[in-house]
Amino acid sequence: MVKWTRYIVLGSVMMLGLSACGERAPLTWNANLDVNCKPQDVLDQISEKLAPESFWRNQEYDMGTLHKLSQNNIKNVTIILDDSRAQQGSYFGRAEQAANDLGLKGKAKRKHVKGNMDRFAKEVKGLEKQLKVQKSGMEWVRKCQRVVQTELGKLKLKPVPYNPSNRPM
């Protein structure tokens, strides 16, 4: 009896190890679809084979959720980025005022202001990078939405408009 338990545990560990075999989806989203919009791992593949309607309906809902979140993230990052760019002059003025308050003059003052402006530029670059990543993620979501609709069509099912309160069972 103990011998079979070892094999069951070993088999379970192997299945979990194999469950991460497909390339993960963009960003940190925990999707059941990989970067190519196919079932992510062995468990998802089995689920898709055993209950295709349920699997693809869940993916349709998840892609709707991810699409909505991506739109909000892109909008928010864009607002923050635009505000940051618009406040660059104000930030420069505050950096100069801080240097004056510290009693810095000449080279020390320029170094202090430059350090602050370099930090500001780094933050803006980070926001630009984040916006690029969000847009890339949105492209993936749109691609997967088309794949999900195609798979639903193969099952002779019509797409359901996204409604966050109607999670498929």
pLDDT tens for each residue of 38-51? 998 888 899 999 99
**pLDDT confidence tier of residue 21, bands split at 50, 70 and 90:** low
| Distance (Å, whole) CA 95 – CA 135 | 33
Burial class (CB in 10 A: 0-12, 13-18, 19+), 155: exposed
- Token digits for 89? 């002059």
| Distance (Å, whole) CA 166 – CA 169 | 9
Closest alpha carbon to 27 in 164, 140, 144, 143 = 140
pLDDT at 34 over 60: yes
**What per-residue confidence (pLDDT) applies to 18?**
47
Average pLDDT of every residue of the chain: 86
pLDDT at 2 over 70: no
Its pTM stands at: 0.73
The contacts of residue 20 (CB under 8 Å, 6+ apart) are 41
pLDDT at 28 over 70: no
Question: How large a percentage of the chain has pLDDT more than 90?
Answer: 67
How distant, in Å, are the alpha carbons of 56, 107, 108, 110 from that of 118?
Answer: 48, 16, 15, 12
Asked whether the beta carbons of 131 and 71 are under 8 A apart, the reply is no
Q: Where are the domains of the chain?
A: 55-160
Choose between 87 and 169: higher pLDDT: 87
The full DSSP string for the chain is: -HHHHHHHHHHHHHHHHHTT-SPPPSTT---SB-TTSSB-SHHHHHHHHH-HHHHHHHHHHHHHHHHHHHHHHHHHHHHHHHHHHHTHHHHHHHHHHHHHHTT--HHHHHHHHHHHHHHHHHHHHHHHHHHHHHHHHHHHHHHHHHHHHHHHHHTT-------TT----
Mean pLDDT of 5-34: 59
pLDDT digits (tens, 9 = 90+) for 124-154: 999 999 999 999 999 999 999 999 999 999 9
